[in-house]
Amino acid sequence: MLNVLFVLLLLKMISSIAPLGSSFAQAQERVTKLTESGQDEVINASLKFLKEKAKLKAKTANGILGGAIATSTILGVPLGHNGSYHEGPTFAPPLVREAIWNASTNSTTEEGKNLVDPRVFADVGDIPIQDLRNLGISEDRLMNFVSDSVKIVMDHAPLRPLIVGGDHSITFPVVRAISEKLGGPVDILHFDAHPDIYENFDNNYYSHASPFARIMEGKYAKRLVQVGIRSINDAGRQQIEKYGVETHEMRNFAKDRDYLENLTLGTGEGVKGVYVSIDVDSLDPGFAPGVSHIESGGLSFRDILNILQNLKGNIVGGDVVEFNPILDVSNRMTSLVAAKLVRELAAKMSK
Ligand SMILES: *[C@@H]1O[C@H](CO)[C@@H](O)[C@H](O)[C@H]1NC(C)=O
Ligand SMILES: *[C@@H]1O[C@H](CO)[C@@H](O)[C@H](O)[C@H]1NC(C)=O
Ligand SMILES: *[C@@H]1O[C@H](CO)[C@@H](O)[C@H](O)[C@H]1NC(C)=O
Ligand SMILES: *[C@@H]1O[C@H](CO)[C@@H](O)[C@H](O)[C@H]1NC(C)=O
Ligand SMILES: *[C@@H]1O[C@H](CO)[C@@H](O)[C@H](O)[C@H]1NC(C)=O
Ligand SMILES: [Mn+2]
């Protein structure tokens, strides 16, 4: 009996993939369609799960005292491109989360906001980017999934997305989503050792070395202010010229410091706010050894906080990316450093 059922089932499977008499090409097309619709189901289920979590967090933030105008909301995007040690940032979000709540520090941020207050800080978990990848989902659809996830967070006021990466490639779909949702460009404050603005790196449209080229060509940002840059070549300088990027190279930092510690962003005509993107390798490796591209001569932790804490502007989103736990030291120092960047950015965003 079981055998008969099995054969029937097998026949049904075969017939649903390749009806008798159809050509191999037709059969292949059917398999592709079946696969894509299965992938769609998984994507839709993931978005639905995220929506329910965001709804609940927004309700909690709104339900307390007077509610909030902006609640910084962690969304983990554990995407790590391209094999070997570059995949390290895939493992970052859970470690950053653990470090945020490490009992060795108090949950109060420097200027006095407490992260346990649901009006200040929320967390909607990680999106299942590697699961989707394992299902063979194309890069385009993967990046659209990142954008759709960010939009879901933004659908639930007062939540605002604070992305924990993942590598820097995710900044493009995130900023694209924010700009589309707000109906105009943002200004970006970008901390990094690298300008990440290659027109084309390794023939990969979505490379972690190219997000700012994609953002600028898509006109998702008006001003792009880069800080900490100390690894830049001719191609990079040409791109910076082409897109009118305001790049503050590390070698001139002493001169630029006063200006950078007094920035106003996001107020130009038609500009919808400020996005803050922090690559952990903007810090000197002495402060943050757990990164994929060690580049000496960087910012101190206090340099970043001075710029961030003095920034004037409405922060509509942000990210902390490129922490690579595989290369961290044994007391998890870089986890704690990345976590403090998240905590202080969260405090600055929330209101
Ligand atoms: C997934 O959701 C989209 C948009 O809501 C819808 O158009 C599509 O039919 C859904 N796909 C599946 C397989 O449920
Ligand atoms: C918590 O903090 C301590 C002391 O700073 C550190 O040694 C430990 O690795 C941290 N643990 C986590 C999970 O981040
Ligand atoms: C942080 O400090 C506050 C008092 O300012 C205290 O009530 C709270 O228990 C502390 N939290 C932790 C995790 O140490
Ligand atoms: C790695 O980069 C290449 C281009 O160099 C790209 O074609 C490929 O899709 C990437 N692989 C992964 C796993 O992201
Ligand atoms: C800060 O910048 C504003 C312009 O945005 C300027 O008016 C002000 O004088 C600056 N303050 C300092 C202390 O440099
Ligand atoms: Mn970098």
- Check residue 233 and give left, alpha or beta (phi > 0: left; psi -120 to 50: alpha): beta
3-state SS class at 254: helix
Cα separation of 312 and 265, whole Å?
6
User: Which residues, at least 6 apart from 106, have a Cβ–Cβ distance to it below 8 Å?
Assistant: none
CA atoms within 13 A on the CB side of 7: 3
**For the segment 10-23, what is each residue's pLDDT rounded down to a tens digit?**
556 655 655 555 68
Establish whether residue 55 lines the binding site of ligand 2, counting it when its CB lies within 6 angstroms of any ligand atom: no
| Best residue among 95, 98, 336, 337 to mutate for probing ligand 2, ranked by most atoms within 8 Å of CB | 336
DSSP designation for 72: E
**pLDDT score at 203:** 80
Q: Which ligand is nearest to the CA of 295?
A: 6
Establish whether residue 3 lines the binding site of ligand 3, counting it when its CB lies within 6 angstroms of any ligand atom: no
Residue whose Cα lies nearest atom 1 of ligand 4: it is: 82
**pLDDT score at 202:** 79
**For the segment 94-144, what is each residue's pLDDT rounded down to a tens digit?**
999 999 999 898 899 999 999 999 999 999 999 999 999 989 999 999 999
Q: What is the whole-number distance in angstroms between the Cα of residue 102 and the centre of ligand 3?
A: 12
Establish whether residue 262 lines the binding site of ligand 5, counting it when its CB lies within 6 angstroms of any ligand atom: yes
Establish whether residue 35 lines the binding site of ligand 4, counting it when its CB lies within 6 angstroms of any ligand atom: no
Q: What is the whole-number distance in angstroms between the Cα of residue 61 and the centre of ligand 1?
A: 30
| Best residue among 35, 40, 41, 50 to mutate for probing ligand 1, ranked by most atoms within 8 Å of CB | 40
Inter-residue contact 158 to 58 (CB < 8 Å): yes
Site of tokens 């491109």: 81
**pLDDT score at 34:** 87
Angle at 93 between CA 81 and CA 106, to 5 degrees: 150
Establish whether residue 140 lines the binding site of ligand 4, counting it when its CB lies within 6 angstroms of any ligand atom: no
* Burial (Cβ within 10 Å: 0-12, 13-18, ≥19) of residue 96: buried
Establish whether residue 106 lines the binding site of ligand 3, counting it when its CB lies within 6 angstroms of any ligand atom: yes
- pLDDT at residue 85 greater than cutoff 60: no
Establish whether residue 81 lines the binding site of ligand 4, counting it when its CB lies within 6 angstroms of any ligand atom: yes
**For the segment 157-193, what is each residue's pLDDT rounded down to a tens digit?**
999 999 999 999 999 999 999 999 999 999 999 999 9
Establish whether residue 82 lines the binding site of ligand 4, counting it when its CB lies within 6 angstroms of any ligand atom: yes
Ligand 3, residue 103: give the atom nearest the CA. Answer: 13
pTM: 0.90
Establish whether residue 204 lines the binding site of ligand 4, counting it when its CB lies within 6 angstroms of any ligand atom: yes
Residue whose Cα lies nearest atom 10 of ligand 4: it is: 82
Angle at 164 between CA 158 and CA 170, to 5 degrees: 100
**For the segment 183-233, what is each residue's pLDDT rounded down to a tens digit?**
999 999 999 999 999 888 878 888 888 999 999 999 999 999 999 999 999
Task: Provide the 10 A C-beta neighbour count for residue 216.
Answer: 21
Establish whether residue 264 lines the binding site of ligand 5, counting it when its CB lies within 6 angstroms of any ligand atom: yes
- Interval 53-57 mean pLDDT: 98
Percent of the chain with pLDDT over 70: 92
**pLDDT score at 87:** 83
Q: Which ligand is nearest to the CA of 312?
A: 5
81: pLDDT confidence band, cut at 50, 70 and 90? confident
Q: What is the whole-number distance in angstroms between the Cα of residue 102 and the centre of ligand 6?
A: 26
